[in-house]
């Protein structure tokens, strides 16, 4: 699965422009920072209190035990990094100073509803900052595998408890890129590994295919 998650993270990194201030959620979204083009400056926000996340630490010589992202992983930081307390961090989110948040999901409904915080009956560490991020960020981008053990994650309606209603603007999976519009979910990019029939079969609501749909790029 690692190669598929890398595919998703690489494609998501193409969403950003020079000067963007972007929040990265836990899990797959944290990988996005590894693939941003070198010729643009994007600042990544972590709700536990800093702006200027770089890559996840892979070499122990780069490890600083005081620099941990919101998912609990050690990361490196850019020279321009700024640290602040949680109140200021969420003030930036609630004040709509963060252009977009990249989140994972358990389910996304065709109207943009998001469920990503709990499966009833299972223990969770807590809700985290997802509700604030969905309410405070102008764009909510979901990065996830298209299915979970073969079960669709893009639904007609979410069956799990909602994190937020009608908040998702874009979904990026290993199969393609989809926009949530007023009339449903539109596929704007389809990965060459899949057909229209295959992405539809892996989805539990009707997909619309944009007339200008193009091939999803990995690089």
**Residues tagged active-site:** 47
Q: What dihedral do alpha carbons 12, 118, 52, 216 form, nearest 10°?
A: 0
The CB density around residue 59, as the number of other CB atoms within 10 Å, is 7
Q: Is 63 helix (H, G, I), strand (E, B) or coil?
A: coil
Q: Tell me the H-state helices in the chain.
A: 2-13, 86-94, 130-136, 196-201
Non-local (6+) Cβ contacts of 53 within 8 A are 24, 30, 33, 44, 45, 46, 69, 75, 77, 78, 81
Distance, CA of 145 to CA of 173 (rounded, Å)? 5
Check: CB of residue 134 under 8 Å from CB of residue 164.
yes
């Amino acid at each position: 699965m690692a190669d598929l998650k890398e595919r998703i993270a690489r494609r998501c990194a193409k969403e950003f422009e020079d000067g963007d201030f972007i929040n990265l959620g836990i899990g797959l979204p944290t990988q996005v920072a590894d693939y941003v083009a070198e010729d643009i400056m994007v600042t990544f926000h972590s709700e536990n209190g800093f702006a200027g996340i770089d890559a996840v630490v892979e070499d122990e010589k780069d490890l600083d035990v005081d620099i941990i992202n919101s998912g609990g992983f050690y990361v490196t930081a850019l020279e321009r990094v700024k640290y602040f307390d949680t109140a200021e961090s969420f003030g930036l989110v609630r004040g709509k100073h963060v252009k977009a948040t990249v989140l994972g999901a358990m389910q996304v409904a065709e109207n943009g509803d998001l469920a990503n915080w709990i499966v009833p009956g299972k223990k969770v560490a807590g809700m985290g900052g997802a509700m604030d991020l969905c309410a405070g960020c102008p764009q909510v981008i979901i990065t996830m595998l298209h299915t979970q053990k073969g079960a669709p994650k893009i639904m007609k309606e979410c069956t799990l408890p909602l994190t937020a209603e009608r908040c998702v603007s874009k979904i990026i999976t290993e199969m393609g890129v989809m926009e949530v519009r007023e009339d449903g979910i539109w596929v704007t990019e389809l990965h060459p590994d899949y057909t229209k029939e295959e992405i539809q079969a892996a989805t539990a609501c009707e997909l619309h295919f944009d007339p200008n749909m193009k091939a999803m790029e990995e690089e």
